[in-house]
Every structure is written in structure tokens, then in C-alpha cells.
Chain A
Amino acid sequence: MCARCLELTRRSLLLGGGAAAAALHTGIASARVRPADMVPLIGPGFRPTDKDEQGLWHEMDRVEEEIAGSNLLITDPKLTGYLRDLIGTVGGPAAKDFRIYLARIPDFNAMMFPTGFAVVFSGLLLRMRNEAQLAGVIAHESGHFLRRHMIRSWRDERRKTDIFSIGAMVAGIGGAGAGVYLGDYVQLAQLGTILSLFKYSRDMEAEADAMGARLIAGAGYDPIEMATIWLQLIGEERSSASYRGKHRQHGSIFDSHPSDDARMADLRADALDLKVPGKVYDNHRARYLATIGPIRQMLLDDQVKLNDPGASEFLIETLAQDGWDGLLRFYEGEVWRLRNRKGDDVRAAQSYAAAVVYPDAPADAWRWHGISLMKSGRSGEAKAAFSKYLTMKPNAPDAAWVRQMIG
């Protein structure tokens, strides 16, 4: 009798495992969400009327107050105004209701909260090569709000945990009554519940992508930019991982976002659906660069100091596809200098030397150019570079030391 019990349990385990694997498979290879099907589910000035959603909003008011008063925020009115205008362009019906905050966090991320306020990380501004790309990310976040993802996700989770609890209780009681222990079933059902939660979340990301592509196409940006963003993210992650001797993770079962490759393929198909043949799209790169110009050095500095040379090098080379400048060359040198492997000092020296050729080279490029020259015994040229540094930054904290080097 006991052996039969075991048999039953083992078979049920295999069965359950197979079901979990199937769920995983369909999760990654799920059908593409078409932009045409993505209609906003709310209109302007939306306020929740259901109790559960009102509760969620009430909690979020406090969260927003904390975020709005956080000392991590970049509050430059030109930048925040620019972001507000952008979400006003690609925010669909809720365009006038959104709030958007810029946080100084050197990471590729942006997020939308249930009440319609978004937080953009400064690392996103560094990575975006033009306004169309930034609009793409913001439109994706707007999509989460317009498709009411937070409350849908909450209700789905509540329904699943409810069913699971009742199921676990009934299984336990039924099993006890029949004299069979069903503990393993309960364990598997729990894993299934978690897996299906993440599946739901992946579907919502796919919806937000399609909605976002539709929104930026409607605002006159080329929808293919959405796919370009993902291509760039995949490249950066690969580069970062390969430097650290690891492989980039592919769509693991606990990924809440769809696998990047699948996502990119869908976005390319979306762009084909949405693009108007013969229309000329402007990515507004000049306007974008002019806006982030004042903080671009800070953004690069924050990135390079993350001590992730794989990602930083990839990022700088990606940005340089639109043309090298003094700032990019200087920070390329900084990546090598801070990595400090064999031969990196020579690479860094070359980057500094290249940087100072550009009129926009920062003062620090001249400083490090001078130090590199000094090391290689070219003290005459080094002194000229130091002088240039002091002219550009007379109140530098190390001015006395540099003056001593000049002699």
C-alpha cells in the first residue's frame, strides 16, 4: 500500500513538473500583442471608483510625497520641464495627468506608479541617443498606466492566492478524509501560482511595448526606435557579463520582463505595422543633446564610477556611433585607467590625448593628459597641459599640487 502511495506521488510530481515546464515555454513564446489592439482603458482625469483601487491610490499618495521630496532628484527646471513635455506628448489620454521625476541613479530604468507618476533614472538619459528613444521608454511606462496594469496585476494576484489557499485547505481536508497525504500537490501548486504570476507580468510588459510603439508613432517618432533601445540593452548586458566572465541570462523563469530577444523581435514587427511609408521621421537628436548637455558629464562620471568596465565601454562606443567628442574620449580613458589592467595606462593615455583635440574636452582631460605625458617623460608637453587645466579650472581642489608639478 505504501509503495503504491509513493508511485502515485512520483507520477504526480512528474505530471506537475511537465505542466510547469509547459507554462514556462508558453510564457516565452507567447503571441505578439498587436499595437492596433492596444486601446487605452482610461480617459483623461481618471480617478478610481473601486474600493481596492482607491486603497492602492491612497497608499501611493504618500509614496509620491516621499519621492517628490527625495534628495536623489535632479530638479533642474529645464530638464524636468523637458520630461514633462515629453510625457505630455506620448502620454495618450492621460498626458495632462502624469507627473514625472528624474532621479540621479546611474542605471537603465524607468518606472510608472499606479497613480500615474513616473520615475526616470538618470542612467536612462545617458543611454538614450535621441529624443525618440527616450520618448519610447516613457511611452512604454505610460502604457502601463493607460492599460491599468497595476490594479489588473493586483486583482490577478489576489484571485490566484485566494484560489490557492482554498485549494490547499480543500486538498488537505479531502486528503485527510481519504487517508492520503497530498502535501506534494500543495507544494507544486504553490510553484505554479508563482510561475503564473510572472507570466502575467510578462504579458503586461508586452502590452506596454505595443502600446508604447503606438503612442510614439502617433506623436511622430519612428517606432523602430523602441527596438533599437532593446538591441542596445542586450549588447550592454552581454558586454558587462563577458567582461566578468559570465554569460548573459536568457529569459529565466523568474524574469518579470519578456526575454529581450523575443521582445526586440516583437517591437520590430510592431514598427512595420505602424510605420507610414514615405513619411520622414525626425528623432530630434539635437534638441535632446542640447537639453541633457549640462548634466552629460555628471551622467558619464556616475556610470564610469560603477566599476563595470564592460558595460561602460560598450555604452561609450554606442554613444560614439553618433560621433566622438572630447567628453566621450575622456571617459573612455577613465574606463581604462580605473580598470588598471596590463597596458590600460597606455590605452588611457591615448584616449586622453585624443580627448584634448576636441574643443569640448573637460578640464580633467587636460589634467590626466598632463599626468600621462609626465609619466612617459615628456615633461615639457605635460607642463603645457597642466597650464591649460589650471586656466580652465583655476579653483581646482588640487591646483596647488598641479602648480608644483609645473615647477
Chain B
Amino acid sequence: MRNWGPALALALSVSLGGCVQTKQYADVQFTLPQGDYKLLVLRPDVTVGSLTTGGMVEPRADWTEQARANIIAALRAQQAARGGNITIIEHRSEVPGVPAQELADVERLNYVVDQAIVQHKYLGDYLPTKRGRGLDWTLGADAVKLGQQSGYDYVLFLHAEDQVASTGRIALGVLGLAGCVVGFCAPNVGGAEQLDYASLVDLKTGEVVWFNVVDAASQVPGIKFGELRTPEGAAQMIERLLGRMKPGQAVQRAEAAR
């Protein structure tokens, strides 16, 4: 008698639900933006694709545009509730007083700094020099200059990628689950996955004051956890990514002591 029952049960319980993880870091002195702050959001970097049967991600133009529109709407609603003045630009030339090339430079610099943050805060290459110092990265003088030229207090960079399991991928997952019956169990071929991250830069100091990553993945194709193609999915993503922003450690300690 084959002993596949427990394996199947375990596989089902572990992976059927999918998995949503978030982990945020903040500058130790970071306080949540409050009052009448001016926030600039550079064109959110969004890609939505279809996960093919073989596991490749095929970008889809229509889904991406739809998702971007949903995200922008959700972001406006979320910020309106906070009371800030938000400007979301579509093109680099849309910030008065700032040449497009200079904005592009800040955007590229931020991209590289974000990569460093992910490398050293999330992927395990922790730096001993930054231990216990919260989020300790800066975009430097270029970001300060951007703030002076544009009059904004903060700039928010937003990245979202979402892959939707295709029918073929779902079928492959079903096949993998069905295999458990004969002893070849492959329920975890991998399904839809969403990766989002955001970084907030204080334009008075140039420092990256807050960073957050949301990774939502399902091992079994066909399980969904909020697609960016739908307004509800986009609102859920914005809530997960930006809704639970916490102040820095020093600020939290001071509040606790009071």
C-alpha cells in the first residue's frame, strides 16, 4: 500500500493558501508624514504578465495599463485619507522647474540604491556597519536639489510586478496535484506571484526614510490573492504596501517612553 496520504495532506495544507509577506524598514528618526505635506510620485513602474505553462512570464500591455490605472486610483484614495497633497506624474517632463534629464538621474540613482537596500536588508548580505541603524541610505545632494527646485517634501518610488497564471499553468498544477494519487507528487510547480516595493525619500535631507516590500506568491497555480488587474486587488496591494507605515525605532521608543 502506498503511503501517499500524509504527503498529500501536508502538501495541500502548506501550499494551497499561497503566502503573503511584507517587511518594512525605516530610518531610526523617521516620523510619518503628517499635515499638509507635498508628495511627488514618479510614474509607478508596473508590469503585469501571464505565467506560461512552461514558467515564462509574458508581459501583457493591456493588463499592465489597467493595473497602473488601478494602482494610481488606489494610491490617490489612500493618500487623500491621510491628508497629504499628492502629485502623480506620467512623464519625467511633468515637474515644473525640473529638467527631465535631472529627474531621470534621480530615478536611476534611486533604482540602484533600492537594489542595494534589497541586497543588504532583505537578501541576507547584512552589513555590520549598518547594524541597528534602521534604514541608512541616502540619494544625497541630487534629491535635495530636486526638492528645492520642485517644492515637494517627499518623493515616492513604486514598483509592482504581477504574474497571472495562464490556463495552461493551472492545468499543469492540477496535473501535479493529481500525480499525488500515484505517488509522484508535484503540487508546487509555482503559480501567480506578485512583488511590490516602495521607497520614500525625504527631499529635505535626501535620505531614503522608509522602504517596504510585499511578496505574495502561490505555489499552486490557480490560487489568487488580489490581482492588480482589478481595482480591489490594487487597493489591497496599496494597503499592504503603504497602509501600515510605521515610524523609525528611535521615534517608536520615544513614544513608548512617554
Residues of A contacting B55 with CB < 8 Å? Answer: 161, 165
B184 at interface, CB cutoff 8 A: yes
B183 at interface, CB cutoff 8 A: yes
Residues of A contacting B168 with CB < 8 Å? Answer: 162
Main secondary structure of the interface of A (DSSP, over half): helix
Of the candidate stretches B59-67, B202-210, B228-236, the one touching chain A is B59-67
Q: How large is the interface on A (under 10, 10 to 19, 20 to 34, 35 or more residues)?
A: 20 to 34
Complex contact A176–B183 (CB within 8 A):
yes
Complex contact B56–A158 (CB within 8 A):
yes
Assembled-state Cα–Cα distance A54/B63 (Å): 11
Of the candidate stretches A55-63, A118-126, A246-254, A295-303, the one touching chain B is A55-63
Assembled-state Cα–Cα distance A129/B169 (Å): 52
Kindly identify which residue among B53, B60, B179, B182 contacts A51, using a CB–CB cutoff of 8 Å: B60
Complex contact B49–A158 (CB within 8 A):
no
What are 25 inter-chain pairs, A to B, with CB distance below 8 A? A51-B61, A51-B62, A54-B60, A54-B62, A55-B58, A55-B59, A55-B64, A58-B65, A59-B47, A59-B59, A69-B100, A154-B58, A158-B54, A161-B52, A161-B53, A161-B54, A162-B54, A163-B54, A165-B55, A166-B172, A169-B179, A169-B186, A170-B175, A175-B184, A176-B179
* Further contacts, 12 of them, CB under 8 A, given A154-B58, A158-B52, A176-B182: A55-B60, A58-B61, A158-B56, A158-B58, A161-B54, A161-B56, A163-B54, A164-B54, A165-B55, A166-B172, A166-B175, A169-B186
Residues of A contacting B179 with CB < 8 Å? Answer: 169, 172-173, 176
Assembled-state Cα–Cα distance A163/B53 (Å): 8
Question: Lowest 6 CB-CB distances: which A-B pairs, in order?
Answer: A161-B54, A176-B184, A58-B61, A55-B59, A162-B53, A162-B54
Which residue of chain A has its CB nearest to the CB of B52?
Answer: A158
A157 at interface, CB cutoff 8 A: yes
Assembled-state Cα–Cα distance A86/B55 (Å): 40
A299 vs chain B, min Cβ distance (A): 25
Assembled-state Cα–Cα distance A59/B46 (Å): 10
Complex contact B175–A173 (CB within 8 A):
yes
Interface bits B213-239 vs A (CB < 8 Å: 1, else 0): 000000000000000000000000000
Taking A169-B175, A176-B182 as contacts, is the C-beta distance between A58 and B52 under 8 angstroms? no
Complex contact B186–A54 (CB within 8 A):
no
Residues of A contacting B58 with CB < 8 Å? Answer: 52, 55, 154, 158
A387 vs chain B, min Cβ distance (A): 43
Taking A54-B62, A59-B47 as contacts, is the C-beta distance between A173 and B56 under 8 angstroms? no
Kindly identify which residue among A55, A69, A154, A173 contacts B61, using a CB–CB cutoff of 8 Å: A55
A177 at interface, CB cutoff 8 A: yes
A144-179, CB < 8 A from B: 154, 157-158, 160-166, 169-170, 172-173, 175-177
Which residue of chain A has its CB nearest to the CB of B48?
Answer: A55
Q: Which residues of A pack against B, CB within 8 Å?
A: 51-52, 54-59, 66, 69, 154, 157-158, 160-166, 169-170, 172-173, 175-177
B101 at interface, CB cutoff 8 A: yes
Residues of A contacting B62 with CB < 8 Å? Answer: 51, 54
B104 at interface, CB cutoff 8 A: yes
Assembled-state Cα–Cα distance A158/B57 (Å): 9
B176 at interface, CB cutoff 8 A: yes
Complex contact B182–A165 (CB within 8 A):
no
Which residue of chain B has its CB nearest to the CB of A182?
Answer: B184
Q: Which residues of B pack against A, CB within 8 Å?
A: 47, 49, 52-56, 58-62, 64-65, 100-101, 104, 108, 168, 172, 175-176, 178-179, 182-184, 186, 189
Residues of A contacting B101 with CB < 8 Å? Answer: 69
Residues of A contacting B65 with CB < 8 Å? Answer: 58
A153 vs chain B, min Cβ distance (A): 12
Assembled-state Cα–Cα distance A163/B62 (Å): 27
Complex contact B54–A160 (CB within 8 A):
yes
B66 vs chain A, min Cβ distance (A): 12
Kindly identify which residue among A69, A164, A173 contacts B184, using a CB–CB cutoff of 8 Å: A173
Taking A173-B179, A173-B184 as contacts, is the C-beta distance between A165 and B189 under 8 angstroms? yes
Residues of B contacting A175 with CB < 8 Å? Answer: 184
Residues of A contacting B176 with CB < 8 Å? Answer: 169
B154 vs chain A, min Cβ distance (A): 24
Complex contact A177–B59 (CB within 8 A):
no
Taking A69-B101, A169-B172, A173-B184 as contacts, is the C-beta distance between A157 and B61 under 8 angstroms? no
Complex contact A165–B53 (CB within 8 A):
yes
B106 vs chain A, min Cβ distance (A): 12
A388 vs chain B, min Cβ distance (A): 40
Which residue of chain B has its CB nearest to the CB of A55?
Answer: B59
Complex contact A69–B104 (CB within 8 A):
yes
Assembled-state Cα–Cα distance A69/B189 (Å): 40
Assembled-state Cα–Cα distance A164/B172 (Å): 11
Residues of B contacting A161 with CB < 8 Å? Answer: 52-56
Assembled-state Cα–Cα distance A373/B65 (Å): 68
B35 vs chain A, min Cβ distance (A): 35
B3 vs chain A, min Cβ distance (A): 13
Residues of A contacting B100 with CB < 8 Å? Answer: 69
Residues of B contacting A52 with CB < 8 Å? Answer: 58
Assembled-state Cα–Cα distance A170/B104 (Å): 49
Assembled-state Cα–Cα distance A55/B175 (Å): 28
Assembled-state Cα–Cα distance A59/B49 (Å): 11
Complex contact A58–B59 (CB within 8 A):
yes
Assembled-state Cα–Cα distance A54/B62 (Å): 8
Residues of B contacting A169 with CB < 8 Å? Answer: 172, 175-176, 179, 186, 189
Assembled-state Cα–Cα distance A177/B178 (Å): 12
Which residue of chain A has its CB nearest to the CB of B183?
Answer: A176
Residues of B contacting A176 with CB < 8 Å? Answer: 179, 182-184
Assembled-state Cα–Cα distance A154/B50 (Å): 14
> Which of B61, B178, B189 has the most chain A CB atoms inside 10 A of its CB?
B61
Which residue of chain B has its CB nearest to the CB of A165?
Answer: B54
Kindly identify which residue among B47, B56, B172, B186 contacts A157, using a CB–CB cutoff of 8 Å: B56
